[in-house]
């Protein structure tokens, strides 16, 4: 009795129907009356039935897999980019549990229509968009119902939504609370939806607090953080704080700030975003807005596992301030 795992035959037997009917119910395909559906579902629950994925794949000719699309980053960077590491780490145990496969696709910010077509055509459980803009997201969603985005994007595409705007707003508020009055911002890249929300949070806070807007766009990479922070500092040497839209860029920003001879946090306080490994490696370690990336990734997978997510579905996640040395004067 210990290692026994019920098969669909057991379910069919318990529900008093044929194997095919049980299969139909389990797979949510038409061809079973409501009362029968209920009986089968009860049997499934009762027995704790879970389909054997190998048998499924063999019989149907396709493997259950989630396609993860990592837009906007070079393939080589996937292994080291802190965000994607966390995304994968969050997904892996859920996928494991469901005995499903992870297919990772790295593509540039302008994926070819052919790529999208092919991935959508071969998708089984669905597609997770790791960092896609609205245009790409819509194109996927048009071809494949089972799509979920790790970031808020086109309104119709189901997505995980962290409180990016609120987080950015809170970061600026914190800086203001610490007495800073010339708070600059290094945003993410122009087309990026997360970047847009964080930018909005900054702008709103600046307005509400009556602060000058001192900002520029970056690229979510360390190099861009360095370059943008340098430029900002040159343009306005009086800057006494920086809100940087991701930790990798913030690590670069701190390098840029100290390279000018300024001290962090004494001369310029810095708050990043993400709470990735980059935050603690920076010098000084970064105060940052923590994004629950692993939880968001796990939730995205669960959504796909549970069936076709409803159009426009949103799942919300909080963002929290983590205080480290880059703000503690």
Partner DNA sequence: TTGAAAGCGCTAACAA
Partner DNA sequence: TTGTTAGCGCTTTCAA
| Residue among 135 and 277 whose Cβ is closer to a second copy | 277
Is 20 a residue that touches DNA (CB under 7 A)? Answer: yes
Give min distance, CB of 282 to DNA, in A. Answer: 49
Is 26 a residue that touches DNA (CB under 7 A)? Answer: yes
Peptide bond into 284 cis (omega under 30): yes
Interacting stretch for a second copy, rule CB under 8 A, among 109-117, 171-179, 197-205, 280-288? 280-288
> Which residue of 104, 135, 200, 322 would you call a contact of a second copy, by CB under 8 A?
104
> Which residue of 11, 17, 82, 172 would you call a contact of a second copy, by CB under 8 A?
82
Site residue total, DNA (CB under 7 A): 30
Give min distance, CB of 96 to DNA, in A. Answer: 18
> Which residue of 47, 209, 216, 280 would you call a contact of a second copy, by CB under 8 A?
280
273: left (phi over 0), alpha (psi -120 to 50) or beta: beta
Phi, psi of 48 (to 5 degrees): 70, 40
Q: Helix or strand or coil: residue 91?
A: helix
Give min distance, CB of 309 to DNA, in A. Answer: 20
> Which residue of 38, 42, 55, 89 would you call a contact of DNA, by CB under 7 A?
55
Listed residue (142, 80, 132) closest to 107, CA to CA:
132
- For the beta carbon of residue 267, count every other beta carbon within 10 angstroms: 15
Interacting stretch for a second copy, rule CB under 8 A, among 84-92, 147-155, 156-164, 211-219? 84-92
- For the beta carbon of residue 138, count every other beta carbon within 10 angstroms: 17
> Which residue of 125, 214, 248, 319 would you call a contact of a second copy, by CB under 8 A?
248
Listed residue (6, 73, 72, 75) closest to 43, CA to CA:
6
| Residue among 205 and 232 whose Cβ is closer to a second copy | 232
> How far is residue 190's CA from residue 196's CA, in Å, rounded to a whole number?
7
> Which residue of 74, 283, 312, 328 would you call a contact of a second copy, by CB under 8 A?
283
| Residue among 32 and 65 whose Cβ is closer to a second copy | 65
Listed residue (291, 296, 298, 295) closest to 92, CA to CA:
298
SS (H, E, C) 282-305: CCCCCEEEECCHHHHHHHHHHHHH
Give min distance, CB of 120 to a second copy, in A. Answer: 18
Listed residue (83, 78, 73, 92) closest to 274, CA to CA:
83
Q: Which residues bind a second copy (CB under 8 A)?
A: 52-55, 57-58, 63, 78-82, 85-86, 88-90, 92-93, 96, 99, 101-104, 222, 248, 251, 254-255, 258, 276-278, 280-285, 294
């Amino acid at each position: 009795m210990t290692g026994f795992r019920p098969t669909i035959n057991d379910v069919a037997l318990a529900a008093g129907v044929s194997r095919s009917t049980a299969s139909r119910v389990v797979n949510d395909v038409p061809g079973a009356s409501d009362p029968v559906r209920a009986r089968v579902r009860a049997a499934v629950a009762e027995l704790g039935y879970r389909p054997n994925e190998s048998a499924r794949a063999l019989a149907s000719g396709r493997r259950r897999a989630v396609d993860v699309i990592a837009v906007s980053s070079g393939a080589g960077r996937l292994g080291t980019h802190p965000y994607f590491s966390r995304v994968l780490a969050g997904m892996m145990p859920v996928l494991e549990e469901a005995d499903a496969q992870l297919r990772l696709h790295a593509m540039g910010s302008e994926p070819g229509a052919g790529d999208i077509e092919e991935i959508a055509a071969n998708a089984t459980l669905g597609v997770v968009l790791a960092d896609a803009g609205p245009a790409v997201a819509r194109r996927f969603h048009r071809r494949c119902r089972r799509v979920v985005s790790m970031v808020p994007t086109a309104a119709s595409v189901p997505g995980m939504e962290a409180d990016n705007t609120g987080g950015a707003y809170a970061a600026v508020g914190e800086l203001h609370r610490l007495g800073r009055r010339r708070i600059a911002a290094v945003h993410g890249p122009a087309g990026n939806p997360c970047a847009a929300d964080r930018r909005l949070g900054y702008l709103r806070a600046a307005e509400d607090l009556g602060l000058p807007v001192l900002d520029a766009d970056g690229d979510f990479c360390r190099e861009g953080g360095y370059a943008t922070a340098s430029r900002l500092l040159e343009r306005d040497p009086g800057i006494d704080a920086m809100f940087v839209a991701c930790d990798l860029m913030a690590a670069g920003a701190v390098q840029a700030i100290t390279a000018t001879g300024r001290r962090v946090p004494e001369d310029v306080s810095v708050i990043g975003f993400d709470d990735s490994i980059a935050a603690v490696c920076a010098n000084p370690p970064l105060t940052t807005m923590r994004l629950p990336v692993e939880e968001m990734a796990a939730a995205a997978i669960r959504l796909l596992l549970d069936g076709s997510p409803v159009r426009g579905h949103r799942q919300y996640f909080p963002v929290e301030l983590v205080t480290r040395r880059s703000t503690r004067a």
